Amino acid sequence: MGEKITRPAKSADLRRARLLKDALQRGSPPALRHPQDPSLADRSTAPTNGTADHLEVQRAYLDQLVEDAPEAISILEKGFRITRINAEFTRMFGFTTEDALGERIDSLIVPPDRSAETRWIRETLENGQKINLETKRRRKDGTLVDVSISGAPIRVSGTQASVYVLYRDITEQKRAEALSSALYRIAQRTSTAEDLQQFYAAIHNIVGELMYARNFYIALYDSDSELLSFPYFVDEQDPTPAPKKLGRGLTEYVLRTGEPLLATPSVFEELVQRGEAELIGAYSLDWMGVPLKIGNNSFGVLVVQSYTDSVRFGERDKEILVFVSQQLASAIDHKRNQEALRRSEARYRSLVQSAVYGIYRSSLDGKFLDLNPALIAMLGFDSAEEVLALDPKKDVFLQPEEQARLMDEFRRSGRLDSIEVRWKRKDGAAITVRLSGRAVTSVEEPDEVLEIIAEDVTERRVL
C-alpha cells in the first residue's frame, strides 16, 4: 500500500517522448505546421514517415505544455463535455481523468447557484468570443475555491472544434483582499461607531466574513478591579459570563501567556494534564483565541470556537485572527480612552454645573465663552444666553479699568490668585468678587482661554 503504480507506456507515447527528446537535444524544436503545408512538399528525399514524425513531435510538445501548465486546463467539445483535463485540474478540483471524461463541465465543478453565469459563458464561447472572469468553482469534496477563469474557442480550418478553459486558484489573493478590507473597515468603525457595543457587533460581522464566527466573544481584563469581563459574547451553548477573577480557563491562559492558541481536543487535553487549563462552560471541539495587546501588555482576548465536526479551525485561521486582533486591540484601546474621556468630561461638567461658586471660561479680552448656573445667579440673570451676550468691560465690571488690571496680572504671572474686583448685577447692584484661575489650551481651542472661579465675597467685606 502506498506504492506508486506506473501505467504501461503505449508505443505511441514512447515514440512521442523519443521524438521530443531528440528535438530538444537539437535545440531547434520544429514549428507546429499542418501536414499539407507546402513547405513540406519539396522534401522528396525525406522518409515517407517524416510528416508523421513532425506530427508526433507537435503532439508531444502540446501534451507536455498542457500537462505541465501551472493552470488547471479542461478541453471541452460538443455539449461542453470534457475530453481532457491536466494534472493541475485534478490537484485543484480533486477529479481524476476517469471521473471527468465525458462529463458536462457545469455539472462537475459549477456550484448550483451559478447557472446564470454558466449560460453566459456558454453563449459567449459559442459565439466565438473569449471569456475572463473571477468566480467560484466546486471541488470534488463539495468545498468551493476562488478561481480566475480564461477560456476561448479552438478553431480547426475556420470551424470551431472545441473550447479550452483555464482555471487559476486565486484563494490567497481573495483572502488577502478580504483581510485588507476587514482591517480598513475596523479602522473606519473605530471613528464612526457611537458606542463600544455597536463597535463590537460590527467587528463580529467583519470577522464572520473571514471565517466561521457563529461563536464569538471579546474578553477584557481590568487590572484595577482584577476582573475579567465579557463585554461582547455570542455563543450557541453558553450564556454571557459574569465578570470574574482570573481562573484557569483557556481565555486566562491566552491572557497569561500573551500568545495565540488553537486548542484542538488533543491540545486542550494536554493543557489540562499540565494543569494549565480547565474546562469552563460547554465543551467546544475547536477553541481559538488570540491576545489583544498594546505593546507587550495583554489586556484582553478575542475568541472564536466551534461545536461541530463540520467546522474546524486551522493555522491559516489563527493567522487571520492574529492580524485582526492587532487592529482590534488598537481600536479598542482608542475607544476605551474615548469612553474614559467622555466620562471624565461628564463628571467635570457635573461638578461645574452643581458648584456653589461661579465658574466661567473667557477669552483673553474678557468675553464669556462658557459659564455655570452659579455665575448666572451671581449676576442676577435668568439664562446663560443673556450673560454670554454681555460685554464684560461695560456690562459686568463696575470700573472698566479693573478688567485691564486683571489682564495685566495674568500676563505678569500667567495666572490669577485671589484677585478682588467689583462687578455689577443685572439690577445695577454692586458686588465684590474674588477671582482665581489660569490659562488653558485644547485641540478644539488652540488659542489660550481663561478658566476662572468667581466667589462672591460682598457680605464678608461688609462685615
| Cα three-residue angle 173-175-179, rounded to 5 degrees | 120
Confidence bin at 431 (pLDDT 50/70/90): very high
Regarding whether 44 and 130 lie in a shared domain, the answer is no
Regarding whether 274 and 190 lie in a shared domain, the answer is yes
Domain of 32 in residue numbering reads as 1-68
Regarding whether 63 and 95 lie in a shared domain, the answer is no
What is the rounded average pLDDT of the residues 44-56? 59
Question: Is residue 349 in some structural domain?
Answer: no
Confidence bin at 323 (pLDDT 50/70/90): confident
Question: Is residue 350 in some structural domain?
Answer: no
Which of the pair, 287 or 174, is modelled with greater confidence? 287
Regarding whether 181 and 296 lie in a shared domain, the answer is yes
Question: Of 51-55, 147-151, 306-310, 400-404, which has the strongest mean pLDDT?
Answer: 147-151
Rounded Cα distance between 138 and 116, Å, is: 16
% of the chain with per-residue pLDDT over 90: 48
Confidence bin at 352 (pLDDT 50/70/90): confident
CA atoms within 13 A on the CB side of 316: 9
Which of the pair, 405 or 58, is modelled with greater confidence? 405
Regarding whether 326 and 184 lie in a shared domain, the answer is yes
pLDDT(27) > 50: no
Question: Is residue 153 in some structural domain?
Answer: yes
Which triple of cell numbers denotes residue 228? Answer: 475579567
What is the rounded average pLDDT of the residues 43-60? 61
Regarding whether 41 and 151 lie in a shared domain, the answer is no
Question: Is residue 203 in some structural domain?
Answer: yes
Per the structure, how many domains does the chain have? 4
164 closest CA partner among 61, 93, 65: 65
Domain edge (last residue) among 145, 169, 193: 169
pLDDT(34) > 80: no
Q: Long-range contact list for 350-359, CB < 8 A, 24+ apart?
A: 357/453, 357/454, 357/455, 358/433, 358/453, 358/454, 358/455, 358/456, 359/451, 359/452, 359/453, 359/454
Regarding whether 340 and 204 lie in a shared domain, the answer is yes
% of the chain with per-residue pLDDT over 70: 85
Mean predicted lDDT score pLDDT of the chain: 84
Regarding whether 333 and 246 lie in a shared domain, the answer is yes
What is the rounded average pLDDT of the residues 136-156? 92
pLDDT at 24: 46
Regarding whether 198 and 184 lie in a shared domain, the answer is yes
Tell me the CATH number at 136. Answer: 3.30.450.20
Confidence bin at 447 (pLDDT 50/70/90): low
pLDDT at 177: 87
What is the rounded average pLDDT of the residues 26-42? 44
pLDDT(142) > 80: yes
pLDDT(35) > 50: no
Question: Is residue 247 in some structural domain?
Answer: yes
pLDDT(3) > 50: no
Give the least confident one: 24-38, 121-135, 136-150, 364-378: 24-38
pLDDT(227) > 90: yes
Question: Of 334-348, 412-426, 431-445, which has the strongest mean pLDDT?
Answer: 412-426
Which of the pair, 26 or 355, is modelled with greater confidence? 355
Q: How confident is the model over 154-208, as pLDDT tens digits? A: 888 778 888 999 999 998 888 888 888 887 887 777 666 667 788 889 889 988 9
pLDDT(383) > 90: yes
pLDDT at 103: 93
Rounded Cα distance between 451 and 239, Å, is: 49
Regarding whether 239 and 306 lie in a shared domain, the answer is yes
Tell me the CATH number at 252. Answer: 3.30.450.40
pLDDT at 335: 75
pLDDT(29) > 60: no
Domain edge (last residue) among 344, 371, 402: 344
pLDDT(371) > 70: yes
pLDDT at 7: 43
pLDDT at 49: 57
Which of the pair, 460 or 36, is modelled with greater confidence? 460
Confidence bin at 78 (pLDDT 50/70/90): confident
CA atoms within 13 A on the CB side of 266: 0
pLDDT(109) > 90: yes
Regarding whether 232 and 339 lie in a shared domain, the answer is yes
Question: Is residue 219 in some structural domain?
Answer: yes
**DSSP per residue, 230-263:** EEEEE-SS-PPPPPB---SSHHHHHHHH-S-EEE
Question: Is residue 122 in some structural domain?
Answer: yes
pLDDT at 46: 45
Q: Long-range contact list for 310-314, CB < 8 A, 24+ apart?
A: 311/212, 311/285, 311/286, 312/264, 312/285, 312/286, 313/211, 313/212, 313/262, 313/286, 313/288, 314/262
Question: Is residue 435 in some structural domain?
Answer: yes
Regarding whether 375 and 316 lie in a shared domain, the answer is no
Domain edge (last residue) among 103, 136, 169: 169
